[in-house]
Structure 1
Amino acid sequence: MPRLQSLKIFYCYKLKPLPDYLCTAPLLKELEIFGSLLLEESYKTGAGENWPRISPIPNIILGWANDSQHNEFGPQINDKDDVEEINDKDDVVEVDKNH
């Protein structure tokens, strides 16, 4: 995967830590993980067991699932209308790697 620049993972509930070749792709500049609780916990900023594996990636966007309509990283997606509403917005929330 030497040309991989962006990797987005949405709602892969059983996906465990990513293989090293994905985390260390030389051109990988953006990693987004939403709705994939095992991955989100594993890569949690500064505290997750596998955070050191992805910390060199310049832009990391993580979304932690919870039961509320909105969490601290944005809206929870419940149906197709939610996806369309989000696609109409230009907002992006990035993880501050220093916290």
Structure 2
Amino acid sequence: MLAGRLGLEKARVPHADRHGVVWLERGRLEVEAGCLRFVTAGGGDLAAGDYQVPHQTISIVLLGPGSSVTHDALRLLARHGCALAAIGEGAVRFYTAPP
């Protein structure tokens, strides 16, 4: 990662001060202009749209079925200590590799 890119080395929020969990399904998790965003066509509990994800203030992203994630998004999550778990329909399956 490029040194000093987007000031990421300075952004640290302790896990005790984070909100916890965000559940996303049926969309694409990507990075645009240094911000994590989730683009979905709907079809689940989340209405169709383009959402920014506050990756600095959450501990884990639960990525449901029908979703994809880019390498840049994984790098951004890892840099901020935010875990990502892939889960099945109705949270039946749970796949993770915690940091």
TM-score (norm. length: structure 1): 0.44
More strand, by proportion: 2
TM-score, length-normalised on structure 2? 0.44
